[in-house]
Amino acid sequence: MIMIESVLGNSVDPVWAGRLSDAEIDLVEIDQWEAQKSRFRKTTAKGAQVAVSLDRHTHLCDGDILLWNEQTRAALVARIELRDVMVVHLDELTTEAPDLAMRTCVELGHAMGNQHWPALVKGTCVYVPLTVDRKVMASVMKTHRFEGIRFEFVSGREVVPYLAPHESRRLFGGAEGPVHSHAHESHVHDAAEAGQVNGHSPAHVHAHPTPAPHQRISPVTAGSARDHRK
């Protein structure tokens, strides 16, 4: 059993990206629900038994380096499978029809609040990680027939490059639990807020609280452990 108590770095860091380019890599593959845990056991892609025991409130991120052997050029890396995301585009809501834009944003926020969908607003897009089957989410959106907006489903990995680290943690960390095949019953749980479209956030969807974000630190030298992220 391999015990992991700290994280050495991340594959996106330039130094680690260079080291891993010719390294033998084994993967600890977990979903984003498991990634919210600081303690769990897992079998790696190559069959090794791993026990992860990090400080409380410290969670793994995709690409985290868990082990590194300089002599054998071997690494153990965390691979987190991000779920798909529904992207709601609000760019077609124009200032020429402010009443329509405001009404649509309020109705969208109300509908998402009813379904308890965690969401992130950036620019003129609303990002919603799949917490139910995409057919259910599409059905909800089509039922409301929102005017002036369009939506699509994309891979979580396609969205991540456009998000800041804290936004990524907020978006995917807020999608609690496995994807269910049913939607929540329609009743208001949290009030959804709405904003203006012209130069301001188009809509702010109130979601369930997400785990406290941690901060990534600078790359470390090979073989040394970095501080735990708070």
Spans of all domains in the chain: 2-81, 85-204
pTM of this structure: 0.54
Which is more confident, 108 or 157?
108
Residue 186: alpha-carbon gap to chain centroid: 25
What is the average per-residue pLDDT within 202-210? 38
Q: 125: which residues sit within 8 A by CB, 6+ positions away? A: 87, 88, 89, 90, 91
Closest Cα to residue 175, out of 215, 124, 209, 151?
Answer: 209
Spatial neighbors of 96 by CB under 8 A, at least 6 apart, are none
User: Which has more pLDDT, 204 or 94?
Assistant: 94
Would you say 63 and 11 are in contact if contact means Cβ atoms under 8 Å apart?
A: yes
Average pLDDT in the chain: 75
Residue 162 confidence (pLDDT)? 81
The predicted pLDDT at position 31 comes to 79
Which residue from 169, 182, 188, 180 is spatially nearest to 127, judged by alpha carbons?
A: 169
The rounded distance, in Å, linking the Cα atoms of 175 and 137 is 14
Query: Which residues are registered as beta bridge partners of 120?
Result: 127
- Superfamily designation of domain 2-81: Urease metallochaperone UreE, N-terminal domain (2.60.260.20)
- Residue 132's pLDDT is what? 87
pLDDT of residue 53: 92
Host H or E run for residue 61: none
CA pair distance 81, 122, nearest whole angstrom: 22
pLDDT of residue 141 exceeding 90, the answer is: yes
CA–CA distance, 167 with 147 (Å, rounded to integer): 27
Phi, psi of 162 (to 5 degrees): -95, 0
**Of the ranges 37-41, 54-58, 59-63, 139-143, the best mean pLDDT one:** 139-143
User: Would the pLDDT of 72 be above 60?
Assistant: yes
Residues 183-205, mean pLDDT to the nearest whole number: 36
> What is the pLDDT at residue 37?
82
pLDDT at 148 over 60: yes
pLDDT the model gives residue 165? 67
Over the stretch 7-28, which tens digit does the pLDDT of each residue have?
998 888 889 989 999 999 999 9
Q: Are 91 and 151 contacting, i.e. CB atoms less than 8 angstroms apart?
A: no
Strand partners, 180: 132
Task: State residue 173's pLDDT score.
Answer: 66
Q: How far apart are CA 176 and CA 118, in angstroms?
A: 9
